[in-house]
Amino acid sequence: MATTEKASPRDRLLDATARLAYRDGVSVGIEALCRAAGVSKRSMYQLFDGKDAMLAASLERSIPWYEAQLAHPHPETATPRERILHVFERLARASLDADYHGCPYLAVLVELKDPEHPASAVARGVKERLAAHFRADAEQGGARDPELLARQLLLVFDGASARAGAGVERLDDGLATAMVTTLLDAAGMR
């Protein structure tokens, strides 16, 4: 019978932080995080300088998964327009999950309000990379003003994810994708 290794205390803390901070907000207490991870506070402080560092590390660790969720499955053959629309189609599908609470990186930026917080820096970096992807696709697709279009797309993405995460808007009706299509057309995107 094969035995499976138990996740390390560090990984359990990062998993619990990701799960509870997303569900309950970044104000979740250290005791709750340690309890959910099955790790003592003493061990937590041996692994991290504090909750702020643990939250930043948790967000950092989730970046590859998050970005993979938004990436087109065939980026080399998809058009820039298709790659952009795919991001919003994925957002619409994700928003249907009962546990969807919006973009975790936007939530951190909104909740913390401190641009110097280590988790804010991670979240801001993720948003800047998403804008850069939008800008690169806009340039490749021939948009008249790729920078403006990237900003508009990020605004729609964040607004749609926040409203869906708050449960005040459904994204399965194609509203966000229709808005993005209008923006792409107005920008002259191919």
- 72-90 confidence digits (pLDDT tens): 999 999 999 999 999 999 9
- 118-141 confidence digits (pLDDT tens): 999 999 999 999 999 999 999 999
* CB of 13 closer than 8 Å to CB of 37: yes
Question: Is 40 inside a domain boundary?
Answer: no
For the chain, how many structural domains are there in total? Answer: 1
pLDDT in the model for residue 5: 55
- Is it the case that residue 99 has pLDDT exceeding 70? yes
Question: Is 17 inside a domain boundary?
Answer: no
Question: Is 37 inside a domain boundary?
Answer: no
- Is it the case that residue 4 has pLDDT exceeding 70? no
Instruction: Kindly state the average pLDDT of the residues 50-77.
Output: 97
- 144-158 confidence digits (pLDDT tens): 999 999 999 999 999
Reported as a pLDDT band with limits 50, 70 and 90, residue 18 is very high
3-state SS, 84-122, equals HHHHHHHHHHHCCCCCCCCCHHHHHHHHHCCCCCHHHHH
Whole-prediction pTM: 0.92
Average pLDDT over all residues of the chain: 95
Question: Is 25 inside a domain boundary?
Answer: no
pLDDT in the model for residue 110: 95
pLDDT in the model for residue 190: 85
Question: Is 28 inside a domain boundary?
Answer: no
Reported as a pLDDT band with limits 50, 70 and 90, residue 170 is confident
Question: Is 53 inside a domain boundary?
Answer: no
Domain that holds residue 68: 59-186
Q: In sequence order, which residues have a C-beta less than 8 Å from that of residue 59 and are 6 or more positions away?
A: 18, 104, 105, 108, 119, 122, 123, 126
Question: Is 16 inside a domain boundary?
Answer: no
Between 1-10, 131-140, 173-182, the lowest mean confidence (pLDDT) is in: 1-10
* Rounded Cα–Cα distance for residues 168 and 53 (Å): 32
Question: Is 3 inside a domain boundary?
Answer: no
Instruction: Kindly state the average pLDDT of the residues 2-25.
Output: 87
pLDDT in the model for residue 54: 97
**Dihedral of alpha carbons 15, 16, 17, 22, sign:** positive
CATH for 100: 1.10.357.10
